[in-house]
Structure 1
């Protein structure tokens, strides 16, 4: 750079700087005086450029810096009643000093920045005090899963010190037995709030992990709040009561008024798959469908599938349980009534379920339970495609699709004159017979996996089923079909404290008669393994670490780890 000439490229750079810049040449002439300098010093640029520096700034030390060749950094100076902080340096070309430069800033700006920094420190200290004052445990991890903070309440709940915990990756803490599951990794994976139950230091803890997002939408931290749930028993009781009331109304609303969402039907059985293919195929037409099968095989799910795959999917799906509504109320529930139709009738009248299903699908569940006189009226509604409210005279045209289901043998009922033949043939346009679970045992493993995953997620568990129990499931005939299997899995998940659901868990179920006897050598080995699995899991649950559990059982830590791996107790923890 030639200090004797104006280079417009460098001048633009100087003008863009926030700090004031003053440059003099060897003759003490000011050759650079940018806008920031003019603003800070309140001196017009035109008055300064080319002038002697000492004429512009009487108490300047820029000349001394040039003559001595010594830098002066962070120097305070008062100019025109304004205090600034300045960094002054000589300008060299080789060994020759050809000028000097001063870069300065209004000290008020620096003091404001310092004040903000002090304020930030105070806020940070206050936040630290707040976190430490909480009764709930607080753990903070960064986006890489490394623990950066744990308050005193967390340490007291879990029995883990800061030295053992902070600065370590949650996966390493899992391996070392400090925890059974990592909420942090769940949050990082799902990018949403996660609530799980865990056992630490002999306490049942509710752990709520929350992601913290930066301005770019990336997770910067995960904050996990930990609470001893024994303190929440009263609140949980009230919450359970309110949830029961809520679920009751939701159930009624879904059954009578709302559309039912499609649920995936799990099967590997070729016969069952053909039934599903048929259901999908006939969904595109309006032919009546009769779904046959035992209780619990999933007839309602097939009906929902047909509705959701049809052109009527956005219209109502109305389920009518013909066996659940009192016979004296069936007609008014089916077809509705006008004002004053009978004693106790609503003043404004009421629309029936057939009318409410306009444009959608009517699902007549347990149709075999209809009385003969009501069968006549349902037949007329299907044939004429119209209904008349009780007490009314004006017919209401119907645009509904009929899907019926029953677990009874309608053909036998027709022969016995218990079910109208003409209604039977009206409903039986497309029959779909759902095979019982005992005839499609290939689906049992898939269904068990589905139900186990669903209930683990719902209740925050990590239960798994021992192979011996799976063998019993495959041997059982399941008279209650899929509903029985689902209820059995939920019962095992919520009643067994150990993560391993072993053969002993079946003692209080309908499968207990199939429990292996000690007279069979193979079953005895399975029984002993099940007992060992239970003891290992219980010791680990109580202590929370492989080292402490091994000491309790008087075995080496390596043996404890190997046995946990054998029974998959350790593996399930590492996956979190």
Structure 2
């Protein structure tokens, strides 16, 4: 048998190594336990040398390696909260195993550094992803002027590849014609942000360089942001064009608003007052309203009342006269069109009246005149609360309140297949039927006074109406209703040559065919009261005080006050 290996052969070598070394002989005794092993395992050397290895390190694998002769490499062991990596080998002498050796190292610090490195790599990857996601070009150079980063956006703007750019000094790039100005050197020199304009690859570029400082205030890097202002100039032009179009639409909207004549509604008729109460009541909700009545009864005034009394009062009130717009233009007026939608279309397109009414109320006057084809599209707009412009593909959401009006009997039109039943029910959520003037004759006197005062002021006259004419007004049926009455009053004011408008003034009017009735005592008294009321009203309007008005009529002030109360003439109503 060959003698055991000499321990002295190993001592000087093992003690000089940074790695821990443990060696055992064939008797499983520790023969080498160097200083590094003692430090890593926290075991004194004297407690290990000569001892059985399993007494020094329980569950050691060195015995197994020695018996099997199989090597074990890169084995991780956790000892005393330290990560140890170990390589174990049998010791051969010739064909005989005479022991085993383990060489190991504490890699805890390396593990920490490895995790930190992985974290830094992740942060770096995220920063790279962020920089690459930007539409603006980004270039990073160090304080020496060497380019270290150039994102894809910069390469697209300048037509330069990263291979041509990254790793080179900015002066070399200037000399080679890759750039005209070096923002990096300007920033390093000035130690502050620098903005310059440059032309590269046929584009106008805005270069904004910013310094990055270390803890001591030294410039470490320069980050340059590159923006293609050619696109900004183009966008600025488009924005200016859009603002012009917007201003045009605002002018159109203001023009439409300026045409809104929100007149007061004059009535003392109980039935008509009920209709007004209904209009006020439904104004608080967004239900569709259908106003029915003969021509000239004031359907538009009721529609305006619904709008003014609603939460939409400060928004547009857009009126569409369905009977006045040519059928071939109705769709484009209703829904608008996109640029180039048809021959003769405005190049910027046009907003429809439904869009102009956004947030407010749209009044479909004479809705019974709509063609069946357009009724379908109006129905869709009401149901879906959206429209599509002619030539457009994107639906436009609507927020409008629908009020419609007609002098036609829509229920009959539905039966005759002239009006869609589904549209009729959509519009007829809240019907308001306005009675004709012949069924509320109590309003004739008040309306005559209103219109007479209006046109006297407008044309600078002081005309008044004879009681016989008032009697004729009372007897007439007024098929044109309030509109006919107003037109008649204006005609009499501007055409009759005397201040007192008498019955002969009616010769050229539709009232001329009306035969006057025999007046009884009761009707005479009525006429006297009407004339007295008119005189009191005119006197107060002229004098603006009861004292002066009484003096004009040669009556006492107390009598004047009593008569004003008798005829329900409130000061605010008169003035």
Range class of TM-score, shorter chain? 0.3 to 0.5
Query: Which protein is bigger by CA-based radius of gyration?
Result: 2
| Greater relative contact order (CA < 8 Å, ≥ 6 in sequence) | 1
